[in-house]
A and B are shown apart, each in its own frame.
Chain A
Amino acid sequence: MSTTACAPGLPEVAGIDKHTRVVGWLKVALPLAALAILSTLFLVADRIDPEDALPYAEVDVEELAREPRMTAPSYAGTTSDGAALTLTAEEARPEATDTPAEARGLRLDLDTPDGARTELHAATAVMDDAAKQVVLSGGVKVTTSSGYVLDTPEIAAQLDRSGLESRGEVRAKGPAGDIVAGGMTLSQDNVTPGAYLLVFTQGVRLVYLPGGAGP
Chain B
Amino acid sequence: QQATIAFGDLEQDTSQPVEVTADQLAVNNADGSAVFSGNVQVKQGEMTLAAAKVDVRYGTDQSQIKELLASGGVTITNLADKASAEEAVYTIETGVIVLTGNVQLAQAGSTMQGQKLTINLKDGTGIMEGRVTTTFVPGGN
Contact = CB atoms under 8 A, between A and B. Distances in A.
Nearest to B92: A210
A146 B32 contact: yes
B17 A208 contact: yes
Contacts of A181: 25
Interface in B13-34: 14-32, 34
Contacts of A206: 19-21, 25, 36
B71 to A, nearest CB: 16
Task: Name the interface size band of chain A.
Answer: 35 or more
Contacts of A214: 63
A114 B14 CA distance: 36
B25 A204 contact: yes
A195 B22 contact: no
A147 interface: yes
Interface in A149-180: 174-176, 179
A114 B33 CA distance: 14
Given A114-B30, A176-B65, A204 B24 contact: yes
A209 B32 contact: no
A210 B29 contact: no
A115 interface: yes
Nearest to B30: A114
A207 B27 contact: no
Interface of B: 14-32, 34, 36, 56, 58, 61-65, 92-93
Given A146-B27, A176-B58, A200-B26, 19 more contacts: A116-B30, A146-B31, A147-B32, A174-B34, A176-B56, A176-B64, A179-B25, A195-B30, A196-B28, A196-B29, A196-B30, A197-B26, A198-B27, A198-B28, A201-B24, A203-B21, A204-B23, A206-B36, A210-B14
